[in-house]
Structure 1
Amino acid sequence: MTTLPEANAKFAVDLFKVLATEHQCDNLVFSPVNLTAGLGLLAYASGCEQADQIEKVLHWDEVKECDKPRSRSLGHSTTRLRRAQEKVETCPRPRPRPEPTKPEATCPRPRPRPEPTKPEPTCPRPRPRPEPTRPEPTCPKPRPRPEPEQPKPCDKRRVIHRPAPCPEPEPEPRCPRRDVPCYECEEPEGIHTAFSKILATLNEPSSNYTLSFANKLYGNKDIAFIQKFLYCALKLYLTEVENADLHNAPEEVRRLINLWVEVQTHGKIKDLLPKDSFDCLAQLLLVNALYFKGQWEVKFDKELTEEAPFYPHYADEKECHSVQLMHRKGVYNAGTIDLCNVQVQVVEIPYKNNELTFVLLLPVDCNAEALEQLEDGLSHEHLLDLSCHLKAIEVDLAIPKFSSEKSIEANEYLNLPDLTDHEKADFSGATTTEGVALTQLVHDAAIEIDEEGGEEPEPVPCPKDRRPRREPVEIRADHPFLYYIVHNCTQSIIALGRFAKPE
């Protein structure tokens, strides 16, 4: 059975191949885990058939099986993981519970219940209660304390006034609020619940990296969202759902969205939505953005960073490209591997505490055909299992210092045409308004790669070895390469991209 990290990696590779074909000469970067969160929310908001289409694109249909047809109510996800089905098979075990009915013969046992009534004679115990009244004579002791401070009598007045306007009717309007957390968004074994645990882990604060999500679903103000969906979208996908006047004030809404995304990403993603990116007919707009910057386990020395030539593919021979190249010699998990009949240098560069890893895939051959062949043959196993083929060796590493950002209208690259069709779209899990369709799913990912990180560890003294020391393996990324950033605990692909040329 396919695991959830494997399914997410399959989706990452599928979309990357589509983007790589459409943008052969450009830098690419997107966040598979965040885009999966956006599509997962849309699946949760969809009716049965539409949800199945989205889950097929995400490969979630390989993780779970449908044992019953789903209803179109918000709790439509009656699908379960196979493990959950096994639990259902073992449910007959509770049948022996009727045996406890035999204790009915032991009904006499309640007779000792009067025993607790025996404490009744101990009622005199409350007599010591007047003892707390004894402190009453001591009350005058605190009284002189407030006497020098006249404001405290004012406090007493406040205490008197507070209970007066607080007749118990006040909690009544709060009662509906108490019911909100009672929503059961999905069965505990459901796919949405499983993915929500990944998101919760990724959103835990860390001093070793900055990972910021900016996800929000906007609907025109005439769309009536189901209250339960508002709650579950936030609980499962950490995504707020908000009504906005998309029809009458699209430009004002666009500026507000851009400002919100800029704040959420610490000013790194600006002007997400260009002018006239949507018109007054917009209905649903899903904003899906992520910013990442991490600190290396061992930093690169800034003094060694140099401007060096970079050799992009499809470049004019007259053009000269240069890049800031960072240098470091150290021990990394690395190796030269045959991937898709291409010799590829692979190196893992860990971030602090090994929470995340930057993986570099550099074709040995500098020509464009080698990179294209690598992109065409890339698979989810390559993203998750490359470590098994690497070993710790000394490396003379040189990689570009760069920042990359890419914004895409993701729904154009996914085979989900029904989402944007007003006649076919089905968002009955999110709204009672009919004829609602998705206008845009805007995805943006921004990452920064620089020298910052931890200090160089002190060298460990080694016994003298007469064997000649091997020269470090040189890995010099001065021509186009692929890379990805993986969260090691959840095996989530934070970013997947191609560095084709300096910008």
Structure 2
Amino acid sequence: MTETRVRDPIGTRKRCGGEDPGARDYIGAVTRMGVRIKGVLGFTSPPKLDAATPASHQQAQKPCGVKGQHGPSMTQQTQKFELPPELKKYPAQPTPGQKTEDQIHSSFNKLMSELKKPRAPYVLSLANRLYGEQSYQFVEKFLNDAKKYYEAGLEEVDFKMKSEAARVDINKWVEKNTQGKIKDLLPQGSIDAMTRLVLVNAIYFKGNWEKKFPKEATTDGQFKLNKTQTKPVKMMNRKAAFPLALIPEMNSQVLELPYVGKNLSMLIILPKEIEDETTGLQKLEKALTYEKLMEWTRPEVMRQQEVEVSLPKFKMEETYDMKSLLISMGMEDVFDGQKVNLSGMSPNNDLVVSKVIHKAFVEVNEEGTEAAAATGAVMMTRCLRIPQVFNADHPFLFFIRHNPTKSILFYGRFCSP
């Protein structure tokens, strides 16, 4: 079982001084942004060895993004989010009088409805909430749109006098909406009397493998950290037919492990050999783009074949302060009290983003995946065919994908047990 839980709060404080083409483009933008963040995280110093980060962190940013920002602040985010500034390429069947900026949020709402289909053979819950200072005035349209498109209602709290109690309440809400997997999202000191608004997003995913790994086949193994170092690990083993492809230019394999129902899959990209003295992934991560990820995992190249799969059982949890990362990617205005324009949220335009905290949990075992994150098999004639080997006993990248929309819900890097 794989389990993933993720939470993203954005803190703002008062400044001292059918197929919907819009949804398809939105998915591409989210995934493209996620891949860029993945690359930045991969080359921090020291590098994060275990990075489990969902593209869904955009869900927390969007209500205060296009909806709340005006002027250069909005232009900067749409550029870094890789959406066109005019937003007019989204003919998402707008209702009469609907502004083009609303089309992005409408497309996101449709995507969330697709992901949360009733009676799905997996558990995927998404929750959003705004925590606002009770004495502060917010733009009514911002609050209405946040509730309409993101189901993010406003909870009025007393940040001025009871900031610590508010922090505890927010953390409890997060813990509840991630089935207890994400605890203490906001550390002590992250909320104070100057805080005016906290935007929080929680996502929880739990899915069982379509083809489970037999528990009796799990063995003790050695995971190669690099060319010279290893660590003990429990390796799950299974021989069955799975979609598998080779990426020749990267000397890597990509394997698809479907979850029950096949609407969701885990994609694993594994370098065939360790080529450097660190994680073995640097060449792959430097080359990885959204377009290449889509190309490498096209159904035409992912051929169903007999594969001997060895995959480590793992559990990982990471917390990131996304502020410095987003600034390094060029999204600095929202953190700068002299430049930011959040007049779409505040009639006084006196807000500035102070923190973006992201926390993720992923667990992979024989049953499937838990995270806080199509039928039609190709039949092949039986013959004396040697099974392919996919032995993930060294660092790899993984992605959890919603197959009907090609949306990447979670992504990460496993480098050490």
Q: TM-score, normalised by structure 2?
A: 0.82
Render the CA deviation track for 1:464-485: whole Å, top value 9, x for unaligned.
x6x5x11111111111100101
Give the distance between the partners of 1:185 and 1:441, measured in 2 at CA. 30
Partner residue of 1:424?
339
Give the AA of the match of 1:358. M
Does the 8 A contact of 1:80 with 1:191 survive in 2?
A: no
- In the TM superposition, residue 285 of structure 1 has moved relative to its aligned partner by 2.5
Helix, strand or coil: the match of 1:81?
coil
Partner residue of 1:391?
303
- In the TM superposition, residue 60 of structure 1 has moved relative to its aligned partner by 1.2
Instruction: Give the 3 Å change call, closer, same or farther, for CA 184–234 of structure 1 in structure 2.
Output: farther
Helix, strand or coil: the match of 2:409?
strand
Partner residue of 1:222?
135
Out of 327, 331, 336, the position equivalent to 2:246 is 336
- Computing the radius of gyration from Cα coordinates, the structure with the larger value is 1
Render the CA deviation track for 1:24-81: whole Å, top value 9, x for unaligned.
251001111x2222222122111233222111111111xxx62xxxxxxxxxxxx422
Give the distance between the partners of 1:394 and 1:256, measured in 2 at CA. 50
Matched, 1:6 2:14: no
Give the AA of the match of 2:26. L
Partner residue of 1:411?
323
- In the TM superposition, residue 314 of structure 1 has moved relative to its aligned partner by 8.8
Give the distance between the partners of 1:10 and 1:302, measured in 2 at CA. 36
- In the TM superposition, residue 354 of structure 1 has moved relative to its aligned partner by 0.9
Partner residue of 2:68?
45
User: Which segment drifts farther, 346-355 or 47-56?
Assistant: 47-56
Q: Percent identity?
A: 32
Helix, strand or coil: the match of 1:376?
helix
- Deviant stretches of 4+, over 3 Å: 182-189, 367-370, 460-463
Instruction: Provide the aligned length of Structure 1 versus Structure 2.
Output: 377
Does the 8 A contact of 1:420 with 1:437 survive in 2?
A: yes
Does the 8 A contact of 1:290 with 1:444 survive in 2?
A: no
Q: CA RMSD in A?
A: 2.9
Out of 245, 260, 271, the position equivalent to 2:158 is 245
Out of 463, 466, 475, the position equivalent to 2:390 is 475
Matched, 1:202 2:115: yes
Instruction: Give the 3 Å change call, closer, same or farther, for CA 235–185 of structure 1 in structure 2.
Output: farther
Out of 410, 413, 416, the position equivalent to 1:498 is 413
Does the 8 A contact of 1:285 with 1:438 survive in 2?
A: no
Give the distance between the partners of 1:189 and 1:257, measured in 2 at CA. 28
Give the distance between the partners of 2:380 and 2:96, measured in 1 at CA. 61
Give the distance between the partners of 1:191 and 1:345, measured in 2 at CA. 35
- In the TM superposition, residue 186 of structure 1 has moved relative to its aligned partner by 4.4
Helix, strand or coil: the match of 1:190?
helix
Give the distance between the partners of 1:204 and 1:354, measured in 2 at CA. 14
Give the distance between the partners of 1:424 and 1:185, measured in 2 at CA. 29
- In the TM superposition, residue 10 of structure 1 has moved relative to its aligned partner by 1.3
- In the TM superposition, residue 189 of structure 1 has moved relative to its aligned partner by 7.3
Partner residue of 1:113?
none
Give the distance between the partners of 1:276 and 1:199, measured in 2 at CA. 33
Matched, 1:439 2:351: no
Partner residue of 2:201?
288
Matched, 1:232 2:145: yes
Does the 8 A contact of 1:283 with 1:437 survive in 2?
A: no
- In the TM superposition, residue 194 of structure 1 has moved relative to its aligned partner by 1.2
Does the 8 A contact of 2:53 with 2:411 survive in 1?
A: yes
Instruction: Give the 3 Å change call, closer, same or farther, for CA 444–357 of structure 1 in structure 2.
Output: same
Helix, strand or coil: the match of 1:208?
coil
Q: TM-score, normalised by structure 1?
A: 0.69
Partner residue of 1:118?
none
Partner residue of 2:58?
36
- In the TM superposition, residue 432 of structure 1 has moved relative to its aligned partner by 1.7
Instruction: Give the 3 Å change call, closer, same or farther, for CA 244–461 of structure 1 in structure 2.
Output: closer
Does the 8 A contact of 1:288 with 1:441 survive in 2?
A: no
Out of 256, 263, 269, the position equivalent to 1:361 is 269
Instruction: Give the 3 Å change call, closer, same or farther, for CA 474–256 of structure 1 in structure 2.
Output: same
Give the distance between the partners of 2:416 and 2:198, measured in 1 at CA. 32
- In the TM superposition, residue 221 of structure 1 has moved relative to its aligned partner by 2.9
Does the 8 A contact of 1:394 with 1:472 survive in 2?
A: yes
Give the distance between the partners of 1:382 and 1:353, measured in 2 at CA. 26
- In the TM superposition, residue 278 of structure 1 has moved relative to its aligned partner by 3.5
Matched, 1:80 2:88: yes
Matches within 5 A, 1:79-478: 79-81=87-89, 83=91, 186=99, 190-313=103-226, 317=229, 321-338=231-248, 341-368=249-276, 370-385=280-295, 386-387=297-298, 388-414=300-326, 415-452=330-367, 469-478=384-393
Gaps of 5+ in 1: 67-78, 89-181, 454-459
Render the CA deviation track for 1:276-326: whole Å, top value 9, x for unaligned.
2333333333323323221111211111122321111398x5xx6222211
- In the TM superposition, residue 423 of structure 1 has moved relative to its aligned partner by 2.9
**Structure number with higher helix proportion:** 1
Give the distance between the partners of 1:183 and 1:244, measured in 2 at CA. 36
Give the AA of the match of 2:82. H
Gaps of 5+ in 2: 1-20, 369-377
User: Which structure is higher in RCO with an 8 Å CA cutoff and minimum separation 6?
Assistant: 2
